[in-house]
Structure 1
Amino acid sequence: MDHEDRITPNQNSSPTEELAISESLVPAREIKLATTLQFTFDGLLNPPLQLREDPKEGCGGHIWPAGMVLSKYMLRKHSEDLLGKRIVELGAGSGLVALAVARGCKIDSPIYVTDQKPMLPLIEENIILNDLSGSVVAALLDWGDSDALTTLPSHPEVILAADCVYFEPAFPLLVSTLDGLMGENSMCYFCFKKRRKADLRFIKMARKVFEITEVTDGINHVACKHQSIFLYILKRKPQPARKNNISSHST
C-alpha cells in the first residue's frame, strides 16, 4: 500500500502522541485526548490538511481507514471533474473526506458535511481550522429523517460516505436516506472496512435499491482487499426495477 501519511500532533501534544496511519491502519492505540493531526495523503495535499480528532465523541471522533482510502481516491481520480456538481457527505465524523475534497479538488459550490448533532461542533472546528468556511457547510442529518433532507441540495451529483457501516440496526435508515437523497444522476462513493460478517448485509440490502459497482482503479486494490476495505459506487436503479425491489424488500 502507499507509504504512510505522517500525522503530527499540535505543539501542545507530547512526542508520545505521535503515530503514523495509512489507508490500511486504524489508530494503533486509543487516544484519550483531543489531538490535531496533519494529512498530506501521500503528497496529494500541500500544505497538509489539519484535522482535530476528539475521541470523547466516540467512533465519529476518530480517523478511520476507509476515510483515508476514499479521500485519496477522490484526490487522485476526481480532482478536476467536480466543477458544477453538488456534493454531500454522510456520516462525516470529523469531516475528513469532505475537507480533503474541498482542499484538493476543483469545486464551485459548497460541500455539505452531515452527521448527528454531537459531531457538528467537531466538524465546524475542522472547517475553521482549514479556513474552508466558504467551501464547506456542516449540516445536521439523522439517517431516516426525510424532513432533514430538505435542508440539503436536492439530488446532489456526488455523495461521499466512509465507514458508515458499523451498526446493523441503522442499515435500513442509511438505505432510506440514500434513496431519498439520490437522484437519477447521483453517484455515491461508498467506502468501508468490513469488521464483521454483518457489514456485508448492508451491501446486500442496498443492492435491492441501487446498482452497485466495486472500484478497483485508483486505489491499491490488493492491499485494500487484504485489509477488508471496499470501495463501491452506488447509482439508482431504473425506476421500474427499483419499485419492484423496494416492494419485495418491504414485505
Structure 2
Amino acid sequence: MNDLFETEEFHQIYEENEYELGGQKLKIREFTFHRLNANQVWPGNQIFAEYLLENLAYLKEQKVLELGSASGILSIFLKKHDIDITASDCPDEEIFENIDYNAKINGIETIPKLPRILYIDLWGEPLNEGLGFTLIIASDILLYLKSFPSLIKTLDFLLGENCKMWLNNRRRIDTEQTFLNMCIEHGFSVKEVFPKIFEIKKN
C-alpha cells in the first residue's frame, strides 16, 4: 500500500465539481488521493454515457453491475434514468461513503453496492450464486496488468448466456490489447461496438 495513504499526516482534501454526462449535470465530490485511482472522474465516462444513452431502452430491461465505480458517477447517471444498477469497487470504506455522498447530493437516497468484486487482490474470488446480473459495465479499469487473470476469472463467473459486458477503455490504451487477447484465449468473444467500447460475451 502506498506510504502516503497510511501515514497519519495525510488528510484527504475533498472538492465538489460539476460534470455533464449525456446532457445531465451531476455534482461529484472527488478527493485528493486513492491508491487504486478511485478518487476522481475520468473523461472517458462522458463518451461512455453517450453510448449508454443511445441504448437506454435496452438498459431499462437489464440488471446492471458496474465494475470499478470509483466516484459513482456512471452508476448515479444510470440510476437517475431508472436503471437497475449496482455499484462495485474495492472494499474501501472511503470509496463507498463517497458514492453514497455523491448519490445524495444528486437526489438519490442510495445505490446498491457490492464492495468486493473489483479489487486488485480479490478479483477472481468466488461470488454468491444468484446475483442475476444481465449486463456488466466498466469504464477505464484496465490499469493493472497483474489483475487481468483474476478479472478474467470474475468475468467467467459473471458472464453467461444471459449476461454480457460493455467495457469502455480510454486510459491505459497500452494494456488494452493484452486484456482483449486474454479474453479471446479464454473463450470469450470480443466486438468493438463503438470506438474504444467493447462488448465481451461467452461464446
Q: Distance in 2 between matches of 1:41 and 1:67?
A: 8
Shift of 1:162: 0.5
Contact 2:22 2:49 (C-alpha < 8 Å) held by counterparts: no
* Alignment partners' CA distance in 1, 2:141 and 2:104: 24
* 2:89 corresponding residue in structure 1: 115
Whether 2:113 is the aligned partner of 1:138: answer: yes
Aligned residue for 2:18?
38
Q: CA deviation at 1:139?
A: 2.0
CA contact (8 A) 2:124 2:151 kept: no
CA 1:84 to 1:42, structure 2 compared with 1: closer, same or farther past 3 Å?
Answer: closer
Identity percentage of aligned residues: 22
Structure 2: stretches of 5+ with no match in the other structure: 1-11
**Aligned partner (choices 142, 147, 164) of residue 187 of structure 1:** 164
Gaps of 5+ in 1: 1-31, 222-229, 238-251
Q: What is the alpha-carbon distance in structure 1 between the residues aligned to residue 180 and residue 89 of structure 2?
A: 21
In the TM superposition, residue 98 of structure 1 has moved relative to its aligned partner by: 1.4
Query: 1:25 maps to which residue?
Result: none
Between stretches 159-168 and 113-122, larger displacement belongs to 113-122
**Greater Rg, structure 1 or structure 2?**
1
Deviation sequence 1:3-34 (CA, Å, 0-9, x none): xxxxxxxxxxxxxxxxxxxxxxxxxxxxx832
TM-score, normalization by structure 2: 0.80
Amino acid at match of 1:233: E
The answer for the alignment partner of 2:199 in structure 1 is 233
Q: Alpha-carbon deviation of 1:190?
A: 0.1
**CA deviation map 1:162-216 (0-9, x unaligned):** 1110010001111111111112121211011253533320111012231111023
| SS in structure 2 at match of 1:161 | strand
1:49 aligns to 2:26 (yes or no): yes
1:88 aligns with 2:69: no
* Counterpart-to-counterpart distance in 1, 2:33 and 2:171: 24
Match of 1:129 among 102, 105, 116: 105
Decide whether the 8 Å contact of 1:71 with 1:96 is kept in 2.
no
Which of 178, 183, 187 is residue 201 of structure 1 equivalent to?
A: 178
TM-score by length of 1: 0.66
Give the Å deviation of 1:145. Answer: 4.5
1: CA distance, partners of 2:173 / 2:124: 27
- Distance in 1 between the 2:202 and 2:135 partners? 12
**RMSD, aligned CA:** 2.1
Runs of 4+ in 1 over 4 A off after TM superposition: none
1:190 and 1:180 map into 2 onto residues whose CA distance is 16
Is the alpha carbon distance of 1:94 and 1:79 closer, same or farther for their aligned partners in structure 2, counting shifts above 3 Å?
same
CA distance in 1, matches of 2:199, 2:173: 21
Determine the structure 2 residue equivalent to 1:212. Answer: 190
* Conserved? CA contact 2:142–2:172, under 8 Å: no
Q: Paired residue for 1:63, among 41, 56, 60? A: 41
Q: Secondary structure at the match of 1:188?
A: strand
Are the equivalent residues in 2 in contact too, given 1:166–1:199 (CA < 8 A)? no
- Structure 2 SS opposite 1:177: helix
Q: CA deviation at 1:69?
A: 1.9
Residue in structure 2 matched with residue 163 of structure 1 by the alignment: 140
